[in-house]
């Protein structure tokens, strides 16, 4: 079964440092997403990406965050200057459609656990 | 705004049936998802409803009433491995808006 792959699985970084989280979406998917889940809390939407541009973003996705699709397979989330409150599990997801046109293909990766110290 | 409510915790016995409810009030509706999440792992897709009615998929079924802003996930023949969090998520626009999840404990 096709998978969304994320690397690294764990990342520890010092406050103020930049981090890049990497994702390889499912190959025939066109829509890409980042979500985060702070320990013990709900999964929160950060950003969606389609046709090489951001299609929607939440209030959490401020100027410290950016996304990029540097080549035909990777999708990255960059946090420019990490804060303690950025510590969370970050999930990448991809889908094959939008709105009412999903073909049950909204799939999450296994996540990157980011710890800011 | 977005408001998605589901019970925090439920307990059920192995072999039994359990129903997890979800009510929602969202700006925009393009469908409702149910995901299973084990601790420290990614959400795993269970079901998707966009039209009213029941969708059945093996031991799992999901129901949607758009007029009532209500869905439920029905799990039959519960197994110990079904102990997990069950997440209700509404798709509006591009985003999935998640509830806080229902932690289900299956006991022998």
pLDDT over 70 percentage in chain B: 99
In this structure, the strands spanning B95-98 and B84-92 are antiparallel
pLDDT at A1: 76
Backbone angles phi, psi at B97, to 5 degrees: -105, 120
C-alpha distances out from residue B1 to A70, B25, B28, B97, Å: 34, 8, 10, 11
Q: How far is A71 from chain B (nearest CA, A)?
A: 22
Question: What would the pLDDT profile of A53-66 be if each residue is shown by its tens digit?
Answer: 999 999 999 999 99
Q: Are B101 and B37 in contact (CB under 8 A)?
A: yes
A56/B95 Cβ within 8 A: yes
The lowest-confidence range among A25-34, A77-86, B4-13 is: A25-34
Q: How far is A72 from chain B (nearest CA, A)?
A: 21
pLDDT at A101: 53
B97/A33 Cβ within 8 A: no
Report yes or no: A96 at the B interface, CB cutoff 8 Å: no
Separation between Cα atoms, residue B80 and residue A91, nearest integer Å: 26
- What secondary structure letter does DSSP report for B78? -
Question: What would the pLDDT profile of A79-117 be if each residue is shown by its tens digit?
Answer: 999 999 999 999 999 988 765 555 556 889 999 999 999
């Amino acid at each position: 079964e096709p998978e969304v792959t994320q690397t690294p699985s764990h990342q520890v970084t010092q406050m103020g440092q930049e981090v890049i989280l990497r994702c390889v979406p499912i190959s025939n998917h066109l829509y890409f997403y980042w979500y985060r889940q702070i320990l013990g809390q709900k999964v929160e939407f950060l950003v969606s990406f389609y046709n090489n541009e951001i299609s929607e973003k939440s209030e959490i996705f401020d100027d410290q965050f950016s996304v990029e699709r540097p080549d035909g397979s990777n999708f990255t989330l960059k946090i420019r200057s990490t804060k303690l409150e950025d510590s969370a599990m970050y999930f990448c997801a991809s889908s094959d459609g939008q709105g009412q046109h999903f073909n049950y293909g909204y799939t999450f990766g296994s996540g990157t656990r980011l710890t800011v110290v | 705004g977005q408001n998605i409510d589901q019970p925090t915790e439920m307990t059920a016995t192995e072999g039994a049936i359990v129903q997890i409810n979800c009510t929602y009030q969202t700006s925009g509706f393009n469908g409702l998802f149910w995901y299973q999440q084990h601790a420290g792992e990614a959400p795993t897709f269970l079901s998707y409803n966009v039209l009213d009615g029941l969708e059945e998929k093996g031991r799992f079924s999901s129901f949607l009433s758009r007029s009532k802003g209500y869905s439920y996930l029905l799990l039959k023949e519960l197994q110990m491995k079904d102990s997990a969090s069950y997440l209700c998520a509404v798709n509006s626009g591009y985003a999935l808006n998640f509830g806080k999840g229902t932690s289900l404990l299956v006991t022998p």
